[in-house]
Chains A and B, each alone.
Chain A
Amino acid sequence: MAPGEKIKAKIKKNLPVTGPQAPTIKELMQWYCLNTNTHGCRRIVVSRGRLRRLLWILFTLTAVALIFWQCALLIFSFYTVSVSIKVHFQKLDFPAVTICNINPYKYSMVRDLLADLEQETRAALKSLYGFSEIKSRKRREAESWSTAWEGIRPKFLNLVPLLAFDQDEKDKARDFFTGQKRKVSGSVIHKASNFMQVHESKQVVGFQLCPNDTSDCATYTFSSGVNAIQEWYKLHYMNIMAQVPLEKKINMSYSAEELLVTCFFDGMSCDGRNFTLFHHPMYGNCYTFNNRRNETILSTSLGGSEYGLQVILYIDEEEYNPFFVSSTGAKVIVHRQDEYPFIEDVGTEIETAMATSIGMHLTESFKLSEPYSQCTEDGSDVPITNIYDAAYSLQICLHSCFQTKMVEKCGCAQYSQPLPPAANYCNYQQHPNWMYCYYQLHQAFVQEELGCQSVCREACSFKEWTLTTSLAQWPSVVSEKWLLPVLTWDQGQQINKKLNKTDLAKLLIFYKDLNQRSIMESPANSIEMLLSNFGGQLGLWMSCSVVCVIEIIEVFFIDALSIIARRQWQKAKEWWARRQAPPCPEAPPSPRGQDNPALNIDDDLPTFTSALHLPPAPGIQVPGTPPPRYNTLRLERAFSNQLTDTQVLDKP
């Protein structure tokens, strides 16, 4: 026990002043600097000489500043991500594969609907380019139409006239139909052509879109007549098709049995029943493999072409629409089951009389959503309603946004995208100037004036299939002889003709290997890391810790404030006392009277009060001092006692 007592006594001697009892701020600071755990402060107090002290103050302040700076950097870089790439070798889900014929509808079926349009297109070709010869054997009968056309009043050319412009004088245009010159006002938008200039003339072809009042016309010119005619045809085509009900359109297009001659997946035969119909406005009937609702998704457990999907497609070139599509083949897109196939945007084209082998690699990406990046998990927080029957994607959002704006501005919906609720597709009968409106809106959309691009955000997770496409001749010269008759037999009643190799295309889609790469983002910092980095910084510069922070709060805020408050209270008290004093200047002598027995106790105290350096008069002057005042007096005494003590101790 004895050594313990001794040590305790020693400690008591060594640590005489406890924080808040320090009488003045200066002493509090001195006490703090001497006793704090942070380095630096002590040096300031202990150092001799002004220069050294100044230097130490500078050092300490620099260290504090550095800590703040570094910690701020740490906080600002908190929401960063680290990326990890993982490779799994496993059974992979086969993606959904959507296959479309490039030609949407059988021309023999839609011809009745498009008869007038075809006539007028031919007439336009004849008068603009002098084209009248029809080489295609199948369309020979059309010739009789074009000759018989003279008497029919053109309806489409009146609505949107095709014009030939003189390159030199842009404001003069010749209406090819009437032949008269027109004055062209409004903006002229020149579309660059992908094709070579067809002929040498300085004329450019275009068309004019006018709203009802025809005062503000927009003119679209094309450097090549091919583009001009196709665009013009497309406009009218969409207009006509928008009025045809969906069932009729599906009937006019190809059936699964027609399109798919053979189908083979993972060593097993498959047929049209394994495909689901998906009607695309611009591509007609498309068929999606491995997308059946309420059925398990097919998967592949081996890589290589024989374990993937092998189909032979029948592409009947004779049923192609001559003006709407100018290429032959099919389009294929690989996508997720719940994803909408944007076949017009990102499809791969397949050539006829060829085997197209598409090897896939699967890459999955996962991004972190808010606050790490701007992506969205499921699109529910994007203020655009999804008009597609599919999971959210950036593409869907942009198209939905445009369609919604279209309905808002033009009053009708654009044909190539799904219908929003309570809207109709545009056609001339109901919306006479939708084309002008559409073109204006489209320009605005492309130039990001509609705000769609800023509202739509990318999805956080997506699967991507990297495709390696290669072509080979199919069928080979020697196998062609037996293969084509067998395939013809297979098609049986679907078509009553002998198959030609240019009517067929073979498609192989398979996983090259079953390695799936996942690119995953994970937070680079956790709260533990942040704290430990703080700790590292604090420790490096000042050997400080949370305890020091608490100390600082205690000393600088609580203690210092309490000292100041005490001072102020004291001053207020004094002031109050002084104010009270004048009305009774006679007061001091009276309490000295020995008749007050209560003051006898105070008589012992003057020795202490003298040490207070306080004017004894006011204290004594108040005879009927209330208890609070007495209290403060006592406090003061306690401090001064301790103060002297510390001063004595500090000196040695």
Chain B
Amino acid sequence: MRRVKKYLLKGLHRLQKGPGYTYKELLVWYCDNTNTHGPKRIICEGPKKKAMWFLLTLLFAALVCWQWGVFIQTYLSWEVSVSLSVGFKTMDFPAVTICNASPFQYSKVKHLLKDLDDLMKAVLERILAPETSHVNATRALNFTIWNHTPLVLIDERNPNHPIVLDLFDNNHTGSANSSLTPGKICNAQGCKMAMRLCSINGTMCTFRNFTSAAQAVTEWYALQATNIFSQVPQQELVRMGYLAERMILACLFGAEPCSYRNFTSIFYPDYGNCYIFNWGMTEKALPSANPGTEFGLKLILDIGQEDYVPFLTSTAGARLMLHEQRSYPFIRDEGIYAMSGTETSIGVLVDKLQRKGEPYSRCTMNGSDVPVQNLYSDYNTTYSIQSCLRSCFQEHMIHNCSCGHYLYPLPHGEKYCNNQDFPDWAYCYSDLQMSVAQRETCISMCKESCNDTQYKMTISMADWPSEASEDWIFHVLSQERDQSTNITLSRKGIVKLNIYFQEFNYRTIEESAANNIVWLLSNLGGQFGFWMGGSVLCLIEFAEIIIDFVWITIIKLVAFAKSLRQRQAQADYAGPPPTVAELVEAHTNFGFQPDTASQRPNTGAYLDEQTLPIPGTPPPNYDSLRLQPLDVIESDGEGDAI
């Protein structure tokens, strides 16, 4: 213990043996010996220049501090710089998702939609030709569907008093208008079509207005069809959709032949069976090493337009989308159409944006930090903002309407909405769909993914097959598919697709940190060097001086305290009070330290001894004289310690 204390004291003593014993000495020494450029000039100039240099040095020091502040602030703002690269390289061919615009084959779903179709036909007749069809319209129609969400005409010719007319004014309207057929008194100008959506037991109703009858019936039909299909198990639905072997007639990837077996099937509620080429779920993704049509994917599809569900979709064509491997295709949002009877060539440029995550930009690497449960994770796909938004919507739907919407995947233990189990779901859904607040909460909750890949497509079209080649092409394809000599294909159903990489197939924008630590240090150094010619070592020098400063202060304080105590204790001594320097010596001298308490008389004697020669000598002399013996004592002390 004692040894440690001794050692410490020795160390402190050594440390204290700095360049000076007073503040002034220290400062002068520092200014003279420092490597920073300003201070040296302060001490070696005349008084006026001294002041000027002092001010300049202060100014430069302030500037350096300010600029350092600016740089550190810039560094902490986490800016990014981007680098762009364009060119061609061997890349994984994008996953290609292909759907038919119609989700089901009408011949296979006819039995499900029979009631609805009859009703729809009756509605159309009622709208278009009210008088003629009125008699036979009321035949065996299933009015349970109709009564749930009827279509109505709103007569707005009198804007203050709109009249609501049910299209089938059988017994339930019961008003004075019931004898009149609505179509007779209304035409498109006077009346608006609307869908009446009612909550449980019909107390709360809203009307969804349409400006055109075509829209109204389409929306109405889609809503009812959703209700019907949501009650059918998915295996059944898959069977009713277009099958791969009927849809994909020919496939060629580069020089390699492929067939419908190379496509992964996925059921998509909007479009029925969709087929994904090169999804990369089970096997490695196929690369393409050359630009141009010859090295891309060539497909011939049959969309079977004659078998479309007539009221569900009015657009005919194949729907396709290019997307990354292992990502879920949101074909409704990002898909494009390919027209029948044409050859559609799609040149692809992969536009990739790679961002740094937090703290540089607000994005998520894999979606684990987003507070929305990803319902698409069942498909084993990566996170994307679309999946997040849809999951969020479904979450809201289940929360508000207590059932899930048919178009989105279900969380565990929930059911899809249908009229039987959830009678007011349509009202609830339409409310939710129109709600801006719901969308905004979802947008604020979902974060975009850090890696954003877009496939930029250059689309061009030509007629296919040509009139001259039509016959044999249809013949061959029909025979291959159906093993029959009859031609089962037509220009209305056939689609040819060429998907290939362009000459430049990638454009990558990559973020990197704009300001790294090296940048920060070099700029800090630059600033310090520019204004003061300083370096890190100068900072260390400065710190050293500060320590010395503190040390001197401590010594002075201790000495002061000691002198006070001594003055109290040795009031009887006749000699003059000891000088500060003397006390410092006494305090710091290692040799003296342990003795101060026990050998007080000795020190007293020493002081007495010192005071004796004073009278005759002038003060300066005295000082220098005193230094001499002290040095001797000091060395003695050190010798003792060793």
Q: A residues within 8 Å of B by Cβ?
A: 1-4, 7-8, 11, 15, 18-19, 35, 37, 82-87, 89-91, 261-264, 267-271, 301-306, 312, 354-355, 357, 359, 361, 466, 468-479, 481-483, 485-487, 489-493, 506, 512-515, 517, 526, 528-529, 531-536, 538-539, 543-548, 550-551
Give every chain B residue within 8 A of A37 (Cβ-Cβ): 37, 40, 533
The chain B residue sitting closest to A273, CB to CB, is B211
A87 to B80, CA, bound (A): 13
Give every chain A residue within 8 A of B305 (Cβ-Cβ): 473, 476-478
Please determine whether A546 and B215 come into contact, CB atoms closer than 8 angstroms. no
Cβ of B365 within 8 Å of any chain A Cβ, yes or no, is: no
Please determine whether B306 and A478 come into contact, CB atoms closer than 8 angstroms. yes
A359 interface neighbour in B80, B106, B334, B623, Cβ under 8 Å: B334
Could you say which interface size class chain B belongs to? 35 or more
B67 interface neighbour in A267, A304, A528, A548, Cβ under 8 Å: A528
A210 to B380, CA, bound (A): 75
Interface string of B270-311 (1 = CB under 8 A from A): 000000000000000000000000000000000001101111
Please determine whether A4 and B448 come into contact, CB atoms closer than 8 angstroms. no
Beyond A478-B306, A531-B530, A546-B530, list 15 extra A-B contacts (CB 8 Å). A4-B20, A7-B25, A85-B82, A87-B353, A87-B363, A261-B212, A468-B456, A470-B336, A482-B124, A493-B189, A512-B334, A515-B448, A546-B532, A547-B41, A547-B532
A355 to B315, CA, bound (A): 7
Please determine whether A532 and B315 come into contact, CB atoms closer than 8 angstroms. no
Cβ of B526 within 8 Å of any chain A Cβ, yes or no, is: yes
A268 to B509, CA, bound (A): 38
Supposing A4-B28, A531-B530, A545-B533 touch, asked if A550 and B56 sit within 8 A by C-beta, the answer is yes
B592 → A minimal CB distance (Å): 19
A534 interface neighbour in B213, B522, B526, B623, Cβ under 8 Å: B526
Please determine whether B333 and A304 come into contact, CB atoms closer than 8 angstroms. yes
Give every chain A residue within 8 A of B459 (Cβ-Cβ): 468-470
A545 to B457, CA, bound (A): 56
Please determine whether B209 and A533 come into contact, CB atoms closer than 8 angstroms. no
A3 interface neighbour in B21, B340, B522, B530, Cβ under 8 Å: B21
B612 → A minimal CB distance (Å): 20
A19 to B523, CA, bound (A): 33
B597 → A minimal CB distance (Å): 29
The chain B residue sitting closest to A261, CB to CB, is B212
A29 to B514, CA, bound (A): 45
A303 to B330, CA, bound (A): 10
B310 interface neighbour in A312, A478, A546, A550, Cβ under 8 Å: A478
B523 → A minimal CB distance (Å): 4
Please determine whether B56 and A262 come into contact, CB atoms closer than 8 angstroms. no
Give every chain A residue within 8 A of B526 (Cβ-Cβ): 531-536, 539
Supposing A84-B80, A545-B531 touch, asked if A515 and B452 sit within 8 A by C-beta, the answer is yes
Please determine whether B454 and A361 come into contact, CB atoms closer than 8 angstroms. yes
Please determine whether A532 and B530 come into contact, CB atoms closer than 8 angstroms. yes
Please determine whether A264 and B215 come into contact, CB atoms closer than 8 angstroms. yes
A471 to B461, CA, bound (A): 9
Please determine whether B214 and A487 come into contact, CB atoms closer than 8 angstroms. yes
A84 to B83, CA, bound (A): 9
B24 → A minimal CB distance (Å): 6
Please determine whether B81 and A11 come into contact, CB atoms closer than 8 angstroms. no
Give every chain B residue within 8 A of A466 (Cβ-Cβ): 456
A310 → B minimal CB distance (Å): 9
A517 to B60, CA, bound (A): 43
A531 to B527, CA, bound (A): 6
Please determine whether B210 and A470 come into contact, CB atoms closer than 8 angstroms. no
Listed from nearest, the 8 A-B pairs whose CB atoms lie closest are A535-B530, A532-B526, A545-B533, A472-B317, A476-B316, A472-B337, A539-B529, A547-B37
A86 interface neighbour in B210, B361, B433, Cβ under 8 Å: B361
A470 to B213, CA, bound (A): 26
B461 → A minimal CB distance (Å): 7
A554 → B minimal CB distance (Å): 9
Give every chain A residue within 8 A of B311 (Cβ-Cβ): 479, 482
A491 to B361, CA, bound (A): 51
Give every chain B residue within 8 A of A536 (Cβ-Cβ): 522, 525-526, 529-530
The chain A residue sitting closest to B21, CB to CB, is A3
A520 to B523, CA, bound (A): 24
Give every chain A residue within 8 A of B309 (Cβ-Cβ): 478
A274 → B minimal CB distance (Å): 10
B436 → A minimal CB distance (Å): 7
Give every chain A residue within 8 A of B454 (Cβ-Cβ): 361
Interface string of B389-402 (1 = CB under 8 A from A): 10000000000000
Please determine whether A87 and B355 come into contact, CB atoms closer than 8 angstroms. yes
Give every chain B residue within 8 A of A482 (Cβ-Cβ): 121, 124, 310-311
A384 to B419, CA, bound (A): 65
A306 to B210, CA, bound (A): 15
Count chain A CB atoms within 10 A of each CB in B46, B187, B509, B526 and give the residue with the most: B526
Supposing A473-B339, A477-B308, A545-B533 touch, asked if A483 and B386 sit within 8 A by C-beta, the answer is no
A538 to B447, CA, bound (A): 47
A528 interface neighbour in B313, B523, B624, Cβ under 8 Å: B523
A312 → B minimal CB distance (Å): 8
The chain A residue sitting closest to B490, CB to CB, is A477
The chain A residue sitting closest to B461, CB to CB, is A471
Supposing A4-B21, A470-B459, A472-B337 touch, asked if A532 and B71 sit within 8 A by C-beta, the answer is yes
A361 to B302, CA, bound (A): 30
Count chain B CB atoms within 10 A of each CB in A269, A306, A534 and give the residue with the most: A269
A-facing residues in B440-488 (Cβ within 8 Å): 440, 443, 446-448, 452, 454, 456-457, 459, 461
Interface string of B106-121 (1 = CB under 8 A from A): 1000000000000001
A269 to B207, CA, bound (A): 12
A476 to B128, CA, bound (A): 20
A-facing residues in B316-346 (Cβ within 8 Å): 316-317, 330, 332-334, 336-341, 344
Please determine whether A513 and B127 come into contact, CB atoms closer than 8 angstroms. no
Please determine whether A489 and B128 come into contact, CB atoms closer than 8 angstroms. yes
Cβ of B70 within 8 Å of any chain A Cβ, yes or no, is: yes
Please determine whether B212 and A357 come into contact, CB atoms closer than 8 angstroms. no
Supposing A476-B305, A491-B188, A539-B526 touch, asked if A359 and B531 sit within 8 A by C-beta, the answer is no
Give every chain A residue within 8 A of B528 (Cβ-Cβ): 535
A472 to B336, CA, bound (A): 9
Give every chain A residue within 8 A of B147 (Cβ-Cβ): none
Please determine whether B317 and A473 come into contact, CB atoms closer than 8 angstroms. yes
The chain A residue sitting closest to B70, CB to CB, is A528
Please determine whether A267 and B211 come into contact, CB atoms closer than 8 angstroms. no
Give every chain A residue within 8 A of B189 (Cβ-Cβ): 492-493
Give every chain A residue within 8 A of B532 (Cβ-Cβ): 545-547
Cβ of B439 within 8 Å of any chain A Cβ, yes or no, is: yes
What are 23 inter-chain pairs, A to B, with CB distance below 8 A? A1-B22, A1-B581, A3-B21, A7-B25, A7-B29, A83-B82, A261-B212, A268-B434, A269-B215, A301-B440, A472-B316, A474-B314, A474-B315, A477-B492, A478-B106, A478-B308, A479-B310, A482-B311, A490-B212, A528-B527, A539-B530, A539-B533, A545-B531
B337 interface neighbour in A470, A479, A534, A538, Cβ under 8 Å: A470
Supposing A37-B40, A89-B446, A545-B530 touch, asked if A357 and B336 sit within 8 A by C-beta, the answer is yes
Please determine whether A539 and B22 come into contact, CB atoms closer than 8 angstroms. no
The chain B residue sitting closest to A299, CB to CB, is B436
Please determine whether B386 and A7 come into contact, CB atoms closer than 8 angstroms. no
Please determine whether B339 and A472 come into contact, CB atoms closer than 8 angstroms. yes
Please determine whether A532 and B67 come into contact, CB atoms closer than 8 angstroms. yes
Cβ of B43 within 8 Å of any chain A Cβ, yes or no, is: yes
Cβ of B595 within 8 Å of any chain A Cβ, yes or no, is: no
Please determine whether B44 and A476 come into contact, CB atoms closer than 8 angstroms. no
Cβ of B634 within 8 Å of any chain A Cβ, yes or no, is: no
Interface string of B192-216 (1 = CB under 8 A from A): 0000000000000000011111110
A512 to B336, CA, bound (A): 10
Give every chain B residue within 8 A of A471 (Cβ-Cβ): 317, 337, 339, 461
Count chain B CB atoms within 10 A of each CB in A15, A82, A263, A547 and give the residue with the most: A547
A269 to B209, CA, bound (A): 7
Please determine whether A7 and B101 come into contact, CB atoms closer than 8 angstroms. no
